[in-house]
Structures are given as structure tokens and as C-alpha cells.
Amino acid sequence: MASISKSSHRRGKHPAAKGTETRLGLVRRARRINRTLAKTYPDAHAELDFSNPLELLVATALSAQTTDVRVNQVTPALFAKYPTAEAYAVANQAEVEEIIRSTGFFRSKAANLIGLGQKLVSDYGGEVPVALEDLVTLPGVGRKTAHVVRGNAFGLPGLTVDTHFQRLVKRLMFTQETDPVKIEHAAGELLEKREWTMFSHRIIFHGRRVCHARKPACGVCPIAFDCPSFGAGPINPEEAAALVKGAEREHILRMAGFEEPGLEEASE
């Protein structure tokens, strides 16, 4: 992997930042970033807890405007009480609201879950459909949710364009598009189809742990060498290291070649 110190010599000089990057250069860079992120986050996965397509569909619908951690706190009780589409279809709205209250927008989310159950029962025999065009007909289900379900519950390639993905794709200058569907298509053209689902997870992991919205940890970012926005956040390694979050923190810092005082001793 290229070192971060090299990138500090070319702030604002990256061909993508200067507008001189070729299409082939962009494709190669996107795939290199994917490979580096694969090494950085070998355990990248959907952070919502689920054991079947219906549970993932419900959890993803609940995750709008809240965190996966908060959704994971309410879903055990929800899944236990409503194990099937039929159970949601005949659920009492106030009882659903009570369980999912802490996820925010609980009235509309509860109404969507009941509508979801009814639609699954009336149109799909109580089963979650696989086709994208069917999934997006369900209440509260957009392309993002549909791709999450297809990619993670059915093993079909899908790019999940959430807020992290949009921010990172912009910083990495993969596309100038701002519409999520156009971003999805533009990013999809850069990567092998079989990589789409895992690339989404890796980018979202990176957005949550390193490339934060307000202060990205550029100084210890493993993909800094390939990022035309290097310098959007602190480039001083000590300052940047303090911004890195998550259980993978030590691994991320090692990937970036940053030796935190005490890190070596602590891991021995």
C-alpha cells in the first residue's frame, strides 16, 4: 500500500482534483480503493441484525433517520412479536409504535410496517419478493432498502447509496452526480458487479469509522494515497488518529502505518 506521507506531498495535486484523470485511471483507482478497504475492513457487513429477508426488510425500513445500533435494540422484541408478514398485516398500530418508538418517526414507520405486511400478503403470498421493481412497491421501501435486502438477504449484487456512500463517492471524486440513482449507476460502472455489495459495506464502514462528515481522519486514512480530497480533515497523524472510531481502530491505524504510543505493547 502506498504510504500516507507520499500523499501529503500532493495535496490538491491528484489528477482527479485537477480534472486530468483518465477513465482508465479512475477505474483502476476505484478498484484499488476497494482492495485497500477490503484489507482494512475484512469483516465489513450489514450492521443491522436479522436472520431472514423479512427481518432485514423491517430493520432497514426502521433505520431511516436513526442508527443501526438503535434499530438493533428494538428489533429482538419486534421480531419475536411479529415473526411473519401476516403478523404485521393484522398488527395493532399502537402496539407496534410502542416497540419502535425510540427509532423516531415511529407513527409513520409503524404504519409502513403494517402496510408492508398487508402488501406482502396480498401481492406476494406473504414472502419478500426478490425483484427490485417489486421491492420498491412496498410501503417505506426505496431503492436503498431494496438493494440492502437483495445484497444481504438474497446474495444479489447491489450498491447501497446511503448518506455515507454519497459523501465518500463525492470526496473520492468517482462522479459529479448528486442524485442517488445516478450515483449508484456511476459507481457501479467502476467496479466489478460481484464487488458491489461488499464495496457498499466497506465504504459505509469507512464513512462511520474514518471519513466522518465533519472531520475526516485524513492523516491516518488507509486510502489517503488514492483520495483527491486528502486534507479535507486533519492530516496530522496524532490529531487524525484521535478521530478514528470503532473496534477496528488499532487495525486501521496499523494499515495507515501509524504507530500509536503504547499500541504495540497493548497488543502483545
Catalytic residue selected from 109, 119, 162, 226: 162
Q: Choose, by CB under 6 A, the member of 217, 241, 252, 253 that binds ligand SF4.
A: 217
Catalytic residue selected from 18, 109, 123, 144: 144
Q: Residue 258, interface with ligand SF4 (CB under 6 A)?
A: no
CB of 173 to ligand SF4, least distance (A): 10
Q: Residue 216, interface with ligand SF4 (CB under 6 A)?
A: yes
Q: Does 1 carry a binding-site annotation? A: no
| Active-site residue, 123 included | no
Q: Is the Cβ of residue 120 or residue 218 nearer to ligand SF4 in the bound state?
A: 218
Selected range binding ligand SF4 among 106-114, 137-145, 189-197, 230-238, rule: CB under 6 A: 230-238
Q: Is the Cβ of residue 194 or residue 214 nearer to ligand SF4 in the bound state?
A: 214
| Active-site residue, 49 included | no
Q: Does 163 carry a binding-site annotation? A: no
Residue by residue, DSSP assigns the chain as ---HHHHGGGTTTSHHHHT---HHHHHHHHHHHHHHHHHH-TT----S--SSHHHHHHHHHHTTTS-HHHHHHHHHHHHHH--SHHHHHT--HHHHHHHHGGGS-HHHHHHHHHHHHHHHHHHHTTS---SHHHHTTSTT--HHHHHHHHHHHS--------HHHHHHHHHTTS----SHHHHHHHHHHHS-GGGHHHHHHHHHHHHHHTS-SSS--GGG-TTGGG-TTTTSS--SHHHHHTT--STTHHHHHHHTT---TTHHHHH-
Count of residues engaged in binding ligand SF4, rule: CB under 6 A: 14
Residues 169-208 that bind ligand SF4 (CB under 6 A): 171
The residues that touch ligand SF4, with contacts defined as CB under 6 A, are 171, 210-211, 216-218, 221, 223-224, 227, 229-230, 232-233
Residues acting as catalytic residues? 144, 162
Q: Which residues are annotated as a binding site for [4Fe-4S] cluster?
A: 211, 218, 221, 227
